[in-house]
Amino acid sequence: MTDKTGTRRHAEIAGAGIGGLTTAAALAQRGWSVTVHERAPNLRTFGAGIYIWSNGLRVLKAIGAYDQAVVGAHIGPQFHTRDHDNTTMEEIPINGQGDARLITILREQLINSLVDTCRRSGVEILTNSEAVGATPEGELLLADGTRRKADLVVGADGINSKLRDSLDLMMYRKHLGYGAIRMLIGRDDADVPAEDRDRYIEYFTGTRRILYTPASATDLYVALCCAADDAAALKVPADRALWTQSFPHLAHLVSRFGDAGRWDAFEVVKLKKWSKGRTAILGDAAHAMPPYLGQGGGCALMNGLGLAAAVADAPDIEQALAAWEERERPITEHTQDTAERLGDMNFWPDELRSEVMKITGKSRELGAERMKTARYQPTATEPLA
């Protein structure tokens, strides 16, 4: 894409995460020159798994990253929610049993597939390059004092985004009083009964949860979730005796927790606007959400591609960004709000939660609300084959 003078349009992007890399690849494939700035010295990502539903898979297809991203992915038959007695409260059929598809992979695999797609598309990726601000006029400000001009600047620099804050775009940032220790360990057949090995399962006890997620044939992603004031439970390395006491039926799994893991608090971020002038904000910087729907990455993928599609041939970048937000923000905020409501049950008494979820799990209407994003067809994508 060229501007009125015939010069190729250029984008500067802060952050080589899911949203930044998706935007970069999609812009480059539409004729833009693109530079991505990553403050870290390399492009490695924290060791964890990630859920990618149908909506995210459609985006990966659209930008040409799908085939690499899904190599060795785990494709489970159901998602189960279990109560304090290990009784199933909800069962969501997927991957052939319903109209939603879900895969789980290592987060590093997803990032690597996006990086390789960017490089094939001609994107320049600079590491050790920290962005500290942006201007509405389309300048990216770097920590070394450099000011880089562009037709479009994108802030995909995470929940503590300096670009967002430099433009005074924050509406609110809410800490939800809850979070998780995330870790990767090897899979072991003795962790759960044979019929559960390939399922995705979330176990509840009191205010604590354990999320069991196969992420490949050999990798298991585990999230230990608890209240932010549950000091004993959020210690890293995880207190195996404490977690065994809460989940005795998972004693073998808990016994294998190593010293790895990282505590992350769950937050919600909402902005006054997703852009100012010719600078746009996306990903956790714009729409962080708790992980209860497994859609944080999915929304970053959708909004990155949607942004590129909106500005690709637009004569006026500012107007295109306004149209992008008007089109994409409703489904993203539906996802945020639904995920936040699902988190309310973390603090319910066990018996109440169990009874309510057994009832709501049978509601077609509530199920449709929860699966709305997974079934959504993002901008500039095609239905999955």
Res 362: pLDDT? 83
Sheet with 139-142: strands ordered across: 131-135, 139-142, 147-149
Q: Which of 46, 66, 54, 59 is nearest to 113 (CA)?
A: 66
Angle between helices 296-311 and 54-63 (to 10 degrees): 40
Confidence at residue 370, expressed as pLDDT on a 0 to 100 scale: 87
User: What distances in angstroms separate CA 336 from CA 79, 124, 293, 294, 324, one per listed residue?
Assistant: 20, 32, 9, 11, 18
A 10 A CB-CB count for 215 gives: 24
CA distance 242 to 207: 13
Token pair belonging to 229? 């004031």
Residue 3 pLDDT: 59
Q: Using DSSP, state whether 139 is helix, strand or coil.
A: strand
**What pLDDT is stored for residue 40 in this prediction?**
92
3-class SS of residue 339: helix
Examine residue 77 and say whether the peptide bond preceding it is cis (omega within 30 degrees of 0): no
pLDDT tens series, the chain, 385 aa: 555 556 789 999 999 999 999 999 999 999 999 999 999 998 877 678 999 999 999 999 999 999 999 999 999 999 999 999 999 998 888 876 556 899 999 999 999 999 999 999 999 999 999 999 999 999 999 999 999 999 999 999 999 999 999 999 999 999 999 999 999 999 999 999 999 999 999 999 999 999 999 999 999 999 999 999 999 999 999 999 999 999 999 999 999 998 989 999 999 999 999 999 999 999 999 999 999 999 999 999 999 999 999 999 999 999 999 999 999 999 999 999 999 999 999 999 999 999 998 888 888 888 888 899 999 999 999 988 7
Tokens encoding 331: 């489904």
Amino acid at 324: W
Torsion angle defined by CA atoms of residues 343, 348, 351 and 354, in that order, rounded to the nearest 10 degrees: -10
Residue pointed to by tokens 């044979």: 194
pLDDT of residue 260: 83
